[in-house]
Chain A
Amino acid sequence: MAATTEPTTTSLRPRPQIIATRVDRERESWTSWFTTTDHKKIGIMYLATVLVFFVLGGVEALLMRTQLAVPDNTLLTPERYNQILTMHGTTMIFLVVVPVWAGFANYFLPLMLGARDVAFPRLNAWSYWMYLFGGISLYASMFWSPPEAGWFSYVPLSLKEYSGTNGQEAWIYMVHLTGLSSILGAINFIATIHNMRAPGMGWGRMPLFAWTILIYAYLIIVALTSLAATVTMLLLDRNFGTAFFDPAEGGSALLWQHLFWFFGHPEVYILVLPAFGIFSEILPVFARKPIFGYKAIAASTAGIAFLGMLVWAHHMFAAPMSTVVLAFFMLSSFLIAVPTGVKIFNWVATLWRGTVEWSVPLLYCVGGIATFTMGGITGIFLAVFPIDWQLTDTYFVVAHFHYTAFGASAFAMFAALYYWFPKMFGRMLSERVGKFGFALLFVGFHLTFLIQHSAGLSGMPRRIYEYSDSSWTAYNFISTVGSFMIGLAAVVTVGSIVYALKRGPRAGADPWKANTLEWFVPSPPPENNFDVVPRVRSVEPMKDIRREIEQRTGVEQRYRSGQPQQR
C-alpha cells in the first residue's frame, strides 16, 4: 500500500501520472493467484481462461470446417461431428463470450468508475472459480462421452431415450456452474456500478462501457436464472421420471424451445451489448472527438435489452404456432432493429469530422461495426417470418449469427485486448503485427461466412456432417479456406501477446491519450488502484485532467498516441 502521490512533481511532469510505479511491488508467490480477491488478478485469470477456451472452440470449428471442405468426407464420424458441433457452440457462448466481458469488466469497471475494487471481492473470486470448474466439467466429458444434442439441446433429442450418455448431464452441470458464476458476477457488477462511482460521476457521466455492463448484468439475472430452471427440468426429465418435455407422457417438446429461447435471445444481447460498449469507448479516443449522442447510446442499450426479452420466438418461426404469434414476434424483432440502427449511426457520426488515428483497436472497432451492420441487415430478412421459413436452420442463419456474434463480440474482444493490454501489463502490443493480424482476421472472416449465405440459400441445412450435392462444394471449400485464415489470425495475435508480455515497449499510464479514469493510474495499476480518486466533471475525465495540467503548467500536452513513453 506504499503508493503515494506527489502533487508538486506531478504538475511539473510533461504528462499527468502518479509516481506509484517507482514503488517496488510486494513479491508474491504463485499461490497468490489462488487466494487473490483483487479484481485485476481475477480479471486476468478470466481472460486467460477465456483464451484457452477460445482456442479450444476454434480448433473445434476448424475440425468441422475441415470435415465439410469436400463432399462425402470421412474425417469425422457423424457421432464425433455432433459432439464437436455441440462443444463448439457451448464453448463459444458459455465459456468464451459471456465470461470474456466478465473478465474485462472485472479488470476495468472499478478502474473506470474510480473504485478500489468491486463491491464483493470474495464473491468475485468465487464467480471465477465456478466458471473455471464449469468449463472443466464440460471438457472432462471429452474423455468419456461428450454431449451431442447441440448447444440448444432440443428435446426430445436431448432426453434419455435419444441421448443416453452422460454427456448431456455434463452439459447441464456446466450450465449450472457457469450460470451461477455469471449471476453472482452480475450482482457484483450491479452493486459496484450503483454504489462505487467516483465523486461527481452521475449516471450521465458514466463511461458507456459501464452502461453496457450494467445492462448486461441485469439481462444475465433475467435470462440465466430462467435457463437454470429450464435445464433443471431437463435434468429431472432425464433422471427422475418427470415429463415436462416428453410428448409420449403428456409433456411438450415446444415448451423447451420457448423456455430455451426466452434465455437464448437475451443471451445474444448479453454477448453483444458489452461489445457495443467497447466500440463506444474506443471510437471517441481515436477519432479525438466526443462520442456522438451519449444519451441516445445509453438509452438504446436499455431499449435493446428490454425489447430483447420480447423476441425469443423468432428462433422458432417454423415450429407449430399460430400466425398471430408469428406476426407479433416479427414486429418485435423489427422494433429491436431501431435502437440497434441508432447505435450504428451514432458510431459513424462519432468518426465523422474527427481526426481518425488508424490504430489497431480502432481498426478492430470499425471492422466490427462494418461486419455487425451486415449481420443486422440479414437479421431483418430472418425477422420476416415467411422469408425465415426458407432461411431458418440453413447456413444463412449460421452466417447471420457469426456476423453478429463474431462480427461484434469477437472483433470487440480483440479491440479491447489491444486497447487495454498496455494498462494490464504495462507494455504495448506491436502495432504492425496487430494490423497484420487484423487484416488476416477481417479477410478470413468474410471469406468464411459471406459465402455461407449462398450455401444456405441454395438449400444447405445446418448441422449436417456431410453432403453430396455438388453445388455446395465450392461454397464450403471457400469457407474452409477462410476459417484457416481466422485460425492464423488467432495464432498471430497470441504470438504478439506472448512477445509483448516480456519485450513490448513500456506503455506508461496513458499511452492512447484516452478519456476514462483507468488511464489515470499507472500501468499496471497498483493493488489499491487509486490513492486519490479524482473528481469527475464530464464523460471524459482524463481530458479534463490533461487540460487542467496544461493550464497549470502552461505547457501544451502534445504527443502521439500509441508511442512508448519517453522518460
Chain B
Amino acid sequence: MPEGRFRRFLLALGAALAGALLATPAAQAGLLFPEAGGSPNADSIKTLYIMVFVLALFIFAGVEGTLLYSLFKYRARKGRQAAQIHGNTKLEIGWTVGAAVILVFITAFTFIKLNDIKDPKPSLIDENGNPIAQVDNLQTASTDLKSIKGPQMRITVNGQQYVWRYKYPGDDNLLVYSDMVVPVGMTVILDIEADDVAHSWWIPKLGGKMDALPGYTNKTWFRIPLDAIPEGQDRVIYTGQCAELCGRNHANMYARVIGMRMPDYKRWYAQQVEALKQAKTDVATQQEKLTESQESAGQDTGQ
C-alpha cells in the first residue's frame, strides 16, 4: 500500500517537526533566529521571523520529504513500469492555489506586525528619568515617524569612511564618534545620513539595518528596555558594524550603542560638553599663544 506508507511517513514527519519546534525556544538566537532583546522593533522582527520560520519548516519538510521519498520509493528495479502520466489539472490548480494561500498568510502576519516594527514606541521615561505610565496605542498617534508624542531623543547618524558620527540634539551641538550613549527607556529616533559613500547602520539587537546614502535621510528608531542594564553595572553595550561595502576598511567600521540610566547619561553628556568646551578653550589659547609668538617673532625680525 504505497498510499498507507506515505501517510505514515507524513505522520512521522509531522511528529519530528513538532519535536523540533518544541526544542526551538532552547535554540540560541543567531543560530536559527535573528538577534533581538535590545529594542521592541528587534523583538517584533524576531517574532515575525519565527512565524515565517514555522511555516517554512513545514513547506521545506513537505517538499524535500516528497522529493526524497519518490527518489527512493520509485527507484528503477527489474519489472517495474513507470506510470505514463502527463499531468493532472486539478492537482496542479490545487497546489498553485495552495502556494498562494500560504503567501497570503505571510502577508497578513507581516502587516499585523509591521506597525510594531516601523513605528517608534513611546518612551518609558521622561526627560528627568521618571517612569511614564504606558497605555497601549495612546501615544502612537500616527504611522509617521515624526509625530510620536512625549519625550524622545533625535540623533543624527552620519556615516563616513570609516567611522560613524552622532550629532546630539540641543544647543551644545555635541558630536560624538563611534560610541553612541543614550538613556535606557528613552525612544531614540535616528536620522541616518552619509557624507561620502553608501554605508548601512546596523546594531543587530536594536533592530533592522538602514542604509546611509549620501543625499538622503533614512530613519529608524530603538528603545532600550529599562531592565537591560545588568544588576550592579552602570551600562549595557550593543555592538554592530557597517553593513554596506564602503571601501577598503569596511570591515573595521564599528559602532556601539551604550545604554545608561538617566542620571549616568546626564553626567556623561555634561562631561562631553565640558570636554568639548575645554578643548575649544585650549585650542583658542594655543592659537592666541601662537599668534602672539608669531607676532613677537615678526617684531623681532622686523627690527
Residues in chain A within 8 A of chain B (CB atoms) = 78-79, 82, 148-150, 154-157, 162, 247-248, 252-254, 287-296, 316, 318-320, 323, 330-331, 334-335, 337-338, 341-342, 344-346, 348-349, 351-358, 366, 369-370, 373-374, 377, 380-381, 384-394, 454, 457-459, 461-467, 471
| Supplied contacts A355-B82, A356-B76, 14 more A-B pairs, CB within 8 Å | A253-B198, A254-B216, A318-B243, A330-B110, A331-B107, A349-B85, A373-B64, A374-B64, A385-B110, A387-B45, A389-B117, A390-B204, A459-B204, A463-B250
Q: Does B301 contact A (CB under 8 A)?
A: no
Q: Does B49 contact A (CB under 8 A)?
A: yes
Asked if A149 and B243 make an inter-chain contact with CB atoms under 8 angstroms apart, the answer reads no
Q: Can you list 21 A-B pairs, Cβ within 8 angstroms, ordered by A?
A: A78-B249, A82-B247, A154-B198, A154-B245, A247-B214, A287-B74, A319-B211, A319-B213, A337-B99, A337-B103, A338-B96, A338-B99, A348-B67, A348-B70, A355-B80, A380-B103, A389-B45, A390-B207, A390-B208, A392-B209, A463-B250
Known contacts A82-B248, A334-B103, A334-B106; is-contact A318 B74 (Cβ 8 Å): no
Which chain B residues lie closer than 8 Å to A293 at the CB level? 86-88, 92
Known contacts A337-B103, A358-B75; is-contact A150 B245 (Cβ 8 Å): yes
Tell me the count of chain B residues lying within 8 A, CB to CB, of chain A.
83
Q: How many A-B residue pairs have CB under 8 A?
A: 257
A72 to B: closest C-beta gap in Å: 10
Which chain A residues lie closer than 8 Å to B80 at the CB level? 355
Asked if A380 and B106 make an inter-chain contact with CB atoms under 8 angstroms apart, the answer reads yes
Asked if B49 and A290 make an inter-chain contact with CB atoms under 8 angstroms apart, the answer reads no
Asked if A156 and B216 make an inter-chain contact with CB atoms under 8 angstroms apart, the answer reads no
B111 to A: closest C-beta gap in Å: 8
Interface string of B153-188 (1 = CB under 8 A from A): 000000001000000000000000000000000000
A159 to B: closest C-beta gap in Å: 8
A154 to B: closest C-beta gap in Å: 6
B8 to A: closest C-beta gap in Å: 17
Q: Does B256 contact A (CB under 8 A)?
A: no
> Which 3 A-B residue pairs are closest in the complex by CB-CB distance?
A389-B208, A458-B30, A247-B215
B112 to A: closest C-beta gap in Å: 11
A319 vs B200: C-alpha distance in the bound complex, in angstroms?
9
Closest to B220 in A: A389
Q: Does B139 contact A (CB under 8 A)?
A: no
Asked if A334 and B107 make an inter-chain contact with CB atoms under 8 angstroms apart, the answer reads yes
Which chain A residues lie closer than 8 Å to B246 at the CB level? 157
B59-84 interface (Cβ within 8 A of A): 59-60, 63-64, 66-68, 70-71, 74-77, 80-84
Asked if B243 and A386 make an inter-chain contact with CB atoms under 8 angstroms apart, the answer reads no
Which of B84, B87, B216 counts the most chain A CB atoms within 10 A?
B87
Closest to A296 in B: B92
Asked if A381 and B245 make an inter-chain contact with CB atoms under 8 angstroms apart, the answer reads no
